[in-house]
Amino acid sequence: MSNETKILLPESEMPTQWYNILADMPFSVPPYLHPVTFEMMGPEDLAPVFPMELIKQEVSTERYIPIPEEVLDIYRLWRPSPLYRARRWEKALNTPAKIYYKWEGVSPPGSHKPNTAIAQAYYNKMEGQTRLATETGAGQWGSSLAFACGIFDLECKVYMVRISYDQKPYRRIMMETWGASVVPSPSMDTQAGRNALAKDPNSPGSLGMAISEALEDAVTHEGTKYSLGSVVNHVLLHQTVIGQEAMKQLKIAGDYPDILIGCVGGGSNFAGLFLPFVKDKLDGKAPDLRILCVESTACPSLTKGLYKYDWADVAKTGPVSKMHTVGHNFIPAPIHAGGLRYHGMSPIICALYDHDLVEASAYHQNEVFEAVVGFARSEGFIFAPETAHAVKAVMDEAIKCREAGEEKTIVFNASGHGHFDLAAYDAYLNGTLVDYDYPEEKIKAALKELPQVDG
């Protein structure tokens, strides 16, 4: 058993394939439906927004998909990422639990998002596209796509949710440094944005609205495709380099998780960690493994939403997916964890949740910042507000281990750094951070507008 605090892999041990959970799930994920006809979508329906290679990956049931050498070469800038044992935090919590975290904040944009941004930019470039349009919440995804487009000489237009655009100006500057054009969403650049501003000139925006704008941009500009950083199958696929590396690192440590924990907004960062472990669970190698998805009480799609078909965006232009949703028209409160403000959840995660293979919990802002500040004072790293939600859940599980005298192994994904989120830390430290109660009436109203689709 290793006594190391930081467990590293050499470049030679970096995964060369993405793992596709669809090959091993004993049940199917409900198909995408056309946003107007509600008929099952085929490749030709997705072609206006995605390159064909990504469409193939979206529906593939091949267990492993090779990572192109050009993508691997760029991954080597930061991959393999380190796995840390949080020994000082364990001591501070006085817990017998062993706590590990996979640290994705080492990438140039500072999060897990480049794992898919690089792949998406590569496939679009190979198919002759010259420009990508996207949305971003907290800015981690927009930063990552801007970085990737800069590497592959693609133009990049980012619609950034207004509240995050205002709260996180340095994320915008980072995107612009890499050459992207960034506007607050809702914007005057699209009809969807103009319609939203006509209804509410002071709208804080939402990921659903920003998606509408990016989709409209993509289909109305020649040489442009749409790119997104979470939710859909091919994005989760690209993130599985995280879990594959973590498996090897835990083996070096002589350990295996009892509990996996991560924050979820659309689901990509945590799915990237846990999907390779789900295979062990399905194969009977880890039947008691707990997988805990952690979301915000301000947008509790798993814990409070309905498992129904819903549109991916406010303007109803994206595919209709079966997912746990609080309604495409729901505008979440302006929490600092902008990446957790999506109204739905990855269809893969929702199917796993529906079959009791993963669990879910939700937390308020102040309690997650209390936990993550305690972590920072022990371990040093300052995490993004999204990751702070995972830290709170880890702390709660570690305390349970202390109370029960159980030595469990807890592994969580630290999806990004909080260097551009210090205004949120400032609000917590000076006592002005606001907790938002579950907006039951607003969600009920939004859920009334779900599409009338069976299933």
353-401, pLDDT tens digit by residue?
999 999 999 999 999 999 999 999 999 999 999 999 999 999 999 999 9
Yes or no: say if 110 and 419 are a contact pair by the CB < 8 Å rule.
yes
Average pLDDT, the chain: 94
262's tokens: 């991560």
With a CB cutoff of 8 Å and minimum separation 6, the contacts of 243 are 19, 272, 273, 274, 275, 276, 277
**pLDDT, tens only, 111-148:** 999 999 999 999 999 999 999 999 998 889 999 999 99
- Residue 360 domain flag: yes
What mean pLDDT comes out for the span 318-331? 91
288: pLDDT strictly greater than 80: yes
Alpha helices in 60-155 (DSSP H): 69-75, 87-93, 114-126, 140-151
pLDDT at residue 213, rounded to an integer: 95
- Residue 335 domain flag: yes
pLDDT at residue 1, rounded to an integer: 60
- Residue 180 domain flag: yes
2 pLDDT tier (thresholds 50, 70, 90)? low
**Where residue 202 sits, what CATH number does that domain have?**
3.40.50.1100
83: pLDDT strictly greater than 80: yes
Same-domain check for residues 311 and 183: no
Q: Which of 178, 203, 233 is the last residue of a domain?
A: 233
What mean pLDDT comes out for the span 186-208? 93
203 pLDDT tier (thresholds 50, 70, 90)? very high
- Residue 224 domain flag: yes
Q: Which of 209, 233, 257 is the last residue of a domain?
A: 233
Q: Which of 212, 233, 254 is the last residue of a domain?
A: 233
Same-domain check for residues 334 and 408: yes
Which among 58, 34, 30 is positioned nearest to 312, based on CA atoms?
34
The percent of residues in the chain predicted with pLDDT above 90, rounded, is 85
Lowest mean pLDDT among 22-26, 83-87, 190-194, 310-314: 310-314
| pTM, full prediction | 0.95
Range of the domain at 404: 6-13+78-110+240-445
Q: Phi first, then psi: give them for residue 404, nearest 5 degrees.
A: -95, -10
- Residue 266 domain flag: yes
Yes or no: say if 61 and 23 are a contact pair by the CB < 8 Å rule.
yes
13's tokens: 């041990």
Cα 291 to Cα 325: distance, rounded to the nearest angstrom: 20
455 pLDDT tier (thresholds 50, 70, 90)? low
Yes or no: say if 86 and 371 are a contact pair by the CB < 8 Å rule.
no
252: pLDDT strictly greater than 80: yes
DSSP bridge pairs for 134: 158
pLDDT at residue 452, rounded to an integer: 86
Same-domain check for residues 419 and 344: yes
Same-domain check for residues 386 and 275: yes
Same-domain check for residues 148 and 93: no
- Residue 450 domain flag: no
Same-domain check for residues 343 and 372: yes
Same-domain check for residues 302 and 156: no
315 pLDDT tier (thresholds 50, 70, 90)? confident
Same-domain check for residues 225 and 257: no
- Residue 455 domain flag: no
What mean pLDDT comes out for the span 26-50? 92
What mean pLDDT comes out for the span 84-89? 98
- Residue 73 domain flag: no
Same-domain check for residues 172 and 36: yes
Same-domain check for residues 264 and 370: yes
pLDDT at residue 404, rounded to an integer: 98
Q: What are the DSSP calls for 369-430, one per residue?
A: HHHHHHHHHHH---B-HHHHHHHHHHHHHHHHHHHHT---EEEEEE-BB-TT-HHHHHHHHT
3-state helix, strand, coil in the chain (%, to 5): 45, 15, 40
218: pLDDT strictly greater than 70: yes
Same-domain check for residues 157 and 216: yes
Q: What's the domain count of the chain? A: 2
- How many C-beta atoms lie closer than 10 Å to residue 126's C-beta? 13
Yes or no: say if 33 and 39 are a contact pair by the CB < 8 Å rule.
yes
Same-domain check for residues 99 and 131: no
